[in-house]
Amino acid sequence: MTYDWVHNTLQEGTLSTEVQLLLTACEPHGVSRREFQEALQDAAWEFPSQTRTKSKQLHRVFDPYRESAASDRLKCSASELLGLYGLLRYLVAEKVPRVPDLLPKLASFAAACDTLDVLLAAKKGATSIADAARSLPGVMQRHMAAHIEAYGDGGIRPKHHWNLDVGDQLARDGVVLDAFVIERTHLKIKAVADSVENTSRFERSVLAGVLNNTWRESATGSWSHALLGSPKQVAPNTCLSARMRVYGLTLSVNDVVWVGEKCGSVRLCVLADAILYVLVEMYTAVGEHTRHWGQWAPSATHELWVAANVQTSLAWKVVADGVVVVIRC
Amino acid sequence: MDRKRRRTTAADILRRVAGAGGVSAAGLSDIIAELQAAGSEVQELASSRRVISRAILDTFDEFRLVLQMPLIEGGFFDWELLEPGRLMAETVHRCPLVRQAFTAAVAASPPSVRNPWHLVVGFDEFAPGNKLKVDNRRKAMVLSFTFRELGQAAMSDGSLWFTPVVVRSVNMNLVAGGWSAMLAAFLRRFLLGTAGLCSAGVPLELTGGGVCMMFASLSNLLTDGDAWKYTFDWRGHSSFKPCFKHPNVLRKGSDLAWRKPGYCEIVCSDPLQFRSWSKGDVHAAVDTLSAAADRVTAGTLTQVRYDQLEMAYGLG
């Protein structure tokens, strides 16, 4: 039996509760949902090519029609909240006043975000599964304690309790298992099932269509290493392109990416001797920095990074004098 | 002049078929490439919808498995699904990238009876059609599986998950034991059947022409709270026992946890307080409920007492 952290945390889960309670608590202090929505609508925000279309719509989470006075959870999908939480953490730090009444609530929100940070770092390979498994129970416990301190135990739900098991699951399994991929599989099935109105042999019709599509796509598809678009051969074993796919991650020119603590903007995707690289214009740190975001300025230097080691940023925007605010996670 | 006319004709055809039936430009390009590769055989292809549907259904029928599930009201439901082992073997055979992933993982950790791979089974319900007007007739349970040995990055890619089961919820509800019984039947067939992952193994063709026998045991069932409820006949997150793993964790405000040592409520954040259910505990609980149900039928136990017993165990 494996509890799914995505359902526990993001799908009407612990983080959905946390965000909703914080937004409600912020309103008497003059920070409304509308203000968060406008900040997210800022056209200056840039997003990685892989998530750009969806990320540009994240502000819709704060649409008035999604608001419900009765609900104690933010109404949004798991993938929306996954894209949103890092941005929200930045906006909360920017906009919410540090008044005594809000401090425990901000601490609880930060602790909830920390739980997601650990899980995502393990999933992306930025930290080892063993390290994540060791730290998760403590992080989850801290969040629960912080939540109770800020709001009492009224908002504690079984999902908070189930989350306490996720650390042990990681230690047992050695991988981060979650339902994101299962939900994506549903999209493939939905594409076929939507047109099957006759339910007399629904199972057969849907499975036949899905099987046909899966084999067709898998026979020609590429989920591992490949340059995308129209690669240009510049030497016998070297091709260049504006886009690439590496371990399911699509990288494009202008994406802001990371390797370790180094940050930069992709200028070119390179395939050389069967290895994918990105040519990156390096950024140098300027101004304010936290674990999750910082201010950077483009430098004149470039580096070639192995694409498999690269992590994308969540979002970034150019502020005054070419300085770029980069939200890492 | 002739050349110009030919070009115009080809463009006209393209305009007519582009987007037909929702086919994308990339999809159409693939279709044209396939037809060009087929050459003269194109003339022999029939084009009616019936023939196209038949061709797709024939593939399903080749891998079809029918499990007869007893119905609550008597009789059987012929549950049509894909034979999971054959589905996996054929997908690995047909899809070079999937084969490549299996080949690499087999090289790193060769499966054997003594060292079986870890089977991960995920399932969840979904409803096709309009999200705002859910059609419950078509709401369906979807089950997919993969193996832990394929690795974190590969497992996040849908290409390495196999989907042998889509079953409508209305059919599930008619079956004696519901989804719980269906999942058990599926796993019994996949793991312990004649060509099961725990018995004879499933032959897989690897890159380079080698063949390996895939052996695996069930390691993870992955789903959400609602599906856990159907799977274990558990009374769910809002029940007296909101955690299926820890029977000593009671719902918030139960007013009982403080009465007996060893119990706590879901607001407790100390994992040392939680006691997991052993296999024996689960069996004993099910046996007790089963015996109690027999007594209700025999008239020696009241329904109210039985309901209380179910509530106490958190099982339905």
* pLDDT tens readout for residues A238-260: 999 999 988 778 899 999 999 98
pLDDT at B295 over 50: yes
- The DSSP bridge partners found for residue A298 are A283
Say if the Cβ atoms of A165 and B156 lie within 8 Å.
no
Residue A211 contacts B where some CB pair is shorter than 8 Å: yes
- Which residues 6+ apart lie within 8 Å of B61 measured at CB? none
Structure confidence at residue B83 (pLDDT): 95
Question: Which tokens in the block code for residue B8?
Answer: 């115009």
pLDDT at A114 over 90: yes
Contact call for residues B83 and B63 (beta carbons, < 8 A): yes
pLDDT at B18 over 90: no
Considering only B30-34, B56-60, B196-200, B206-210, which range has the smallest mean pLDDT?
B30-34
State what percent of residues in chain B have pLDDT above 70: 91
Mean pLDDT of chain A: 89
Structure confidence at residue A66 (pLDDT): 80
CA dihedral B50, B54, B56, B61 (to 10 degrees): 150
Q: Per-residue pLDDT tens for A62-107?
A: 888 887 766 778 888 888 999 899 999 999 999 999 999 999 999 9
Q: How many CB atoms are closer than 10 A to CB B56? A: 15
Pinpoint the alpha helices (H) of chain A: 5-9, 14-26, 33-41, 52-55, 78-95, 103-124, 129-151, 158-163, 166-173, 180-193, 202-220
Shortest Cα distance, chain A CAs vs residue B301, angstroms: 32
Q: Per-residue pLDDT tens for A317-326?
A: 998 888 999 9
- Which residues 6+ apart lie within 8 Å of B195 measured at CB? B85, B86, B201, B202
Q: How many CB atoms are closer than 10 A to CB A329? A: 20
Give B1's pLDDT tier (boundaries 50, 70, 90): very low
Query: What's the rounded mean pLDDT across residues B60-87?
Result: 93
Structure confidence at residue B19 (pLDDT): 64
Coil, strand or helix: which one is B68?
Answer: strand
Compare B156 and A152 and report the one with higher pLDDT.
A152
Say if the Cβ atoms of B94 and A215 lie within 8 Å.
yes
CA B119/CA B287 separation, integer angstroms = 28
pLDDT at B95 over 60: yes
Within 8 A of A77 by CB-CB distance, chain B residues are none
Structure confidence at residue A90 (pLDDT): 93
Say if the Cβ atoms of A223 and B166 lie within 8 Å.
no
pLDDT at A316 over 70: yes
Q: How many CB atoms are closer than 10 A to CB A149? A: 13
pLDDT at B21 over 80: no
Give B202's pLDDT tier (boundaries 50, 70, 90): very high
Give B40's pLDDT tier (boundaries 50, 70, 90): low
pLDDT at A3 over 80: yes
Closest CA to A160 of B181, B267, B276, B19: B267
Structure confidence at residue A92 (pLDDT): 93
Q: Per-residue pLDDT tens for A203-225?
A: 898 999 888 888 877 766 555 56
CA B177/CA B180 separation, integer angstroms = 6
Mean pLDDT of chain B: 86
Shortest Cα distance, chain B CAs vs residue A323, angstroms: 33
CA A311/CA A125 separation, integer angstroms = 10
Question: Which tokens in the block code for residue B168?
Answer: 């409508």
Ordered by where they begin, the domains of chain A are 5-173 (no CATH), 180-220 (no CATH), 226-327 (2.30.30.490)
**Cα four-point dihedral sign A94, A95, A100, A103:** negative
Give B236's pLDDT tier (boundaries 50, 70, 90): confident
Say if the Cβ atoms of B142 and A185 lie within 8 Å.
yes
Say if the Cβ atoms of A207 and B82 lie within 8 Å.
yes
Give B106's pLDDT tier (boundaries 50, 70, 90): very high
Within 8 A of B87 by CB-CB distance, chain A residues are 211
Structure confidence at residue A221 (pLDDT): 57
Within 8 A of A185 by CB-CB distance, chain B residues are 142, 144, 158, 161, 163
State what percent of residues in chain A have pLDDT above 90: 56
Contact call for residues A246 and A277 (beta carbons, < 8 A): no
pLDDT at A236 over 60: yes
Q: Are strands A232-235 and A249-252 parallel, antiparallel or unpaired?
A: unpaired
HSE-CB for B69 with a 13 A CA cutoff? 28
Which amino acid would we find at residue A29? H
Structure confidence at residue B238 (pLDDT): 83
Question: Which tokens in the block code for residue B5?
Answer: 């006319």
Q: Per-residue pLDDT tens for B148-190?
A: 999 887 778 788 899 999 999 999 999 999 999 999 999 999 9
pLDDT at B28 over 80: no
**B217-235 b/e with 16+ CB inside 10 Å = b?**
ebbbbbbbbebbbbbbbbb
Considering only A23-27, A183-187, A259-263, which range has the smallest mean pLDDT?
A183-187
User: Which of the residues A17, A119, A161, A196 would you substitute to probe the B interface, choosing the one with the greatest number of B C-beta atoms within 10 Å?
Assistant: A161
**pTM score:** 0.85
Compare B270 and B46 and report the one with higher pLDDT.
B270
User: Which of the residues A50, A162, A172, A309 would you substitute to probe the B interface, choosing the one with the greatest number of B C-beta atoms within 10 Å?
Assistant: A162
The radius of gyration of chain A's CA atoms, rounded to the nearest angstrom, is 22
Please name the residue of chain B whose CA is at the shortest distance from the CA of residue A180: B156
State what percent of residues in chain A have pLDDT above 70: 97
CA A109/CA A292 separation, integer angstroms = 14
pLDDT at B6 over 90: no
CA A285/CA A283 separation, integer angstroms = 7
pLDDT at B195 over 60: yes
pLDDT at B144 over 50: yes
Within 8 A of A186 by CB-CB distance, chain B residues are 124, 126, 142
Within 8 A of B225 by CB-CB distance, chain A residues are 7, 158-159, 162
Burial of B64 (0-12, 13-18, 19+ CB in 10 A): middle
